[in-house]
Structure 1
């Protein structure tokens, strides 16, 4: 039994609300159970069971009616006449709950001869009744528990008494279900307690608000009564009107001095008691106060009931509500005597002025001289003030921050740039501040004695420092370059002046320059390595192609084993070739030929390929704004950037995750800084790539765009992916930054200047060269002679072997001058196949021009591993086809046929 009677009453009331539906459900379930058991049980046991259920339901109904009548009588009786109800040790609801549950629980034992289907239906009914009790009776947990236990305990015992594995499992499940229902009833009871407590608190709060409102109204009435009593007993005129000037209250003094009665004032407004001779001036003064343009006391000329002028001075207080004038309060004082005194004083002043003028006529010339002297002095003072104002204007116009200090280091003046850089609104905010303490953080460790600026206040010296740290008002620091000097007056040091500049952007530019120089040096080194490596790959792949061709002529099985090994070596060499191409792309910094592209459409085309590449463990989410604009770019480079970012994200999510792409328009009205990267104002297409992977440590974020920097294990990354993405974005005048935290994933944001045109641009493409095979007839390589020019002996030998196997007649030269001699001496050369980069002052382009000058019919085909900036410029202007080393045999065969048929 709960100790809190109020709580118990709430529980019983809640249960009483549930009783009608409980009676209906119990009766309906009893009827339903009787129907499906009618054909399987004898009439007498079934009739006894039905009667027991009906008697119990009737008893519950009578008990509910009794409690309902008792509650009605209780509400109709005075509170004092309601005797407290005695609470028993075991509440009646618990007894009723246990009895009702027992009637249902013994059913499974009472009807033990049922068919399996009927027994299953009966078991479901028992579980349903117990489940319903866990919510309907939850307001009294003991009642719910007694019904659930009395219902399910016999059923659980019945399961275990069957002594079979299946029934034992059902018994265990019944025990678990019983505890689950008890726990559910307990949770519902807790929510019932919270609801009851909240309802009581709300009722108490409403009662408190009602009491406070009544107290406030009573207090207001007493206050207004006291105000009326006080106002009627003061000598000043007290008046209150509404927004239109109708009188709401006037005190006794107001009525007596102006002669109006209360009945008179009810017919008048404040405007009607203003004297007509001074009406305009009075209305203007009142209007300025109501518009809150003036707050000083105003003089008003009031009109008495007899029509005389009554001069008054007073304070007017308007009261506004929701922007509307609703009331005007005024307190006025009689100033008639003061006005008479002022009039008399003016008359005396005029008379005195006449007497002084007559007495001082002889001093007029002296006054003129004195006025001239005073005028000159005033002009000098005005010139001094103008020069000071000009100096202030010059200081405030300077982009250099300047401030002055006295000998104690306190600020004596500062310009606007100084206040802005130090985080203050106005230069006046700095006056009197200790500038050493203000500009240096307390934990910086720089004492006054060690500060060069502080020394100029005491010694006649000059100081200069670069890359020093100053502290703003908000505690942030920034780099400065400053110069300081002493201020000397009459051979005495009276202070110092300091001029400083914020050099944060300069330092950033210097850091970018150093980074650019480092990248350029790495690029040159990379290009040289790639060039030599391509030559080696040309030798390896050339010989592997020859070996593969020769193995095709051998007989199995030994040839098949060697063929597999050869193909494996070829595939490894091709991967090495792809790596060198990436190195060359990075080292050459090739400028793109931008065309208008649609990143949204490209992403849609790449989605299937990305899903296959990333695998099933990674979920791909692509969101493209329908209004996303096009940009200037290169399709292949854009695809490479997306692939690089996707592969990095995949490697960061070995256990799987989500990779998201978002493409949308974004406009920046002003420059903004994202993760340390400043992005100028403009219209951009924003491409965000985010993953849910391991993230990047903060100490590595500033290095992720460096070439060859990688955090992956050895052999699993080259460190070129992000550097190539960075170079691609930079060439398109875009911006890129990375947000990442360990274990929180990574987000890469790319901002590309967007195109505002709505029409599609034509895709720039090149016509494929016709792959002729002769004049639509037989092509005979043996009928053609090829001059091979290559300075690397291994590459030259491999190329000659490939050409001879293809059937061509081959002559060779190791450099440009030797090639010209051989061409002049050897007749019938049909094609020049030359490396671009060669020694002895003649590269492949120059050699081709000289050969063409000797014979315009000769065909030209060039190849290169890496030819530096000169080669790139020449290639851009060249009309010759250039093959990229290493050149495969089939590629060389097709290029030769195209050149010779062209």
Structure 2
């Protein structure tokens, strides 16, 4: 027999008592595993940076063009999906994440376009200018995204302090993102690209530490928020932030030029971080649908139980009514004189034999007391 509340892990049919109970990882162990995953991501990426630094790899422009196109598509997809999540679930974090990734998608497209061989010649006359142009456009999109992710945590904290009374300022977020994106595009279009790459320094691209700083702040904020322990989206967001922070702290600042190993690895890690956010969004959507399906099953079972209860009550009422009818028929056809009186002596009921024997009609019995009959 099905037990109420027993659901299969895949949201399927009710699970019977004899079925094996699906294994569920204890919450504390899941928290430990997730925390260990963040540390593992950082350690593995830092360890992998050692051979990448020493590598003499150099790719053609085609690889980075593909990476740029993929990053642009992913950024737009994440932005659109996050905004759908915001309007369907009214989670403020989705507003900032969605808007941030849409703006990032525009800047990623700008970066891919500016560094392509077809267009870069119009904006960079020398290889050094091309390196600076690529560095600035790369940094712009990453700084934009890191700021929006950090601001999303600040907005959540402010709303928590206000005990949920604040509403996400949609128009202000959209206007700010649009103006900031437009300003960056205009600035890098009309301003000569220079001062982003320093080939003679140990750190060739020091500006990359700025996005790294905000990615680290965002990671710390969402870690302290602690929603990652249960929320799949924020769990994958922390993984993406860990990847992004290491990329901007260990990889891309030391890139000596276009298409070297550190540059290509940074592009691939950027795409990997976007994929992590996308996986988090899809996991959150799946988790939402699964919970709604479970609620639907529980409501359906409750309705079925209520329907059964109503049927039982109707059957009981029918049986009681039949019993009353049989009792009434027995009393009416009995040869003995049967009567029922109130405490004050008022006659409530008499059977047919009583009325025929004593000669009373129904009209005469109204309000009549038994003492009147005796006297």
Scaled to the shorter chain, the TM-score interval is 0.3 to 0.5
**Which protein is richer in helix relative to its size?**
2
TM-score (norm 1): 0.16
Specify which structure has the higher proportion of strand.
Answer: 1
Q: Highest relative contact order (Cα 8 Å, sep 6+), 1 or 2?
A: 2
